[in-house]
Amino acid sequence: MDGIDLDWEYPGAQDIPGIPSADPFDGQSYVELLKLLRQKLGKEKTISIAAPASYWYLQNFPIAEMAQVVDYIIYMTYDLHGQWDHNSKWAMPGFDGTSCLRSHINMTETMSSLAMITKASVPSNKIVVGVSSYGRSFETTQAECTGPQCSFTGPDSTAKKGRCTGTSGHISNAEIDDIIKSASAGGKRAEGAIQTFTDDTE
């Protein structure tokens, strides 16, 4: 064994459907667990954790204290947006409750998240930026709408299931490649380095 990586989603969380509300002391208990692991494993083995790029969840991580114990932190700079944003007033400032489409990865929000965690006293050389090899799919409320202010259906995903994933709202990298090859329109917006593709056959 080279080391251990922990992914607790999420200490102190109160709002995850189907999961009982967490204890507000979970974050400190997590630190104590990491310290115990370090004591038992020594410096020869690596210890890493996954941490959310969302302030809502990161606020319950004593992240500066954790950074002193772990070798690195895998920062989950993906799934920044998704089906859970349906009618959420927090998804996009200025568009409260309108369920506007947002990419689940975004350069602008990634940079903001990195600023947040480094301001919380986590050294940048301990941060590994997480990337995803999948995408999120949505069905728009108006088929002809293809821009960033389009709204999507919900609360459950009604997007076409992927041929590989077989799941509404989740598409694999292979499925994304297929969409890009067959898309009726595509382009890159300068803001946030976002690429968008549309399929007007659905």
* Residues tagged active-site: 9
- Residue 49 β-bridge partners: 6, 73
Secondary structure (H, E, C), 71-140: CEEEEECCCCCCHHHCCCCCCCCCCCCCCECCCCCCHHHHHHHHHHHHHCCCCHHHEEECCCCEEECCCE
Both structure tokens of 193: 């380095």
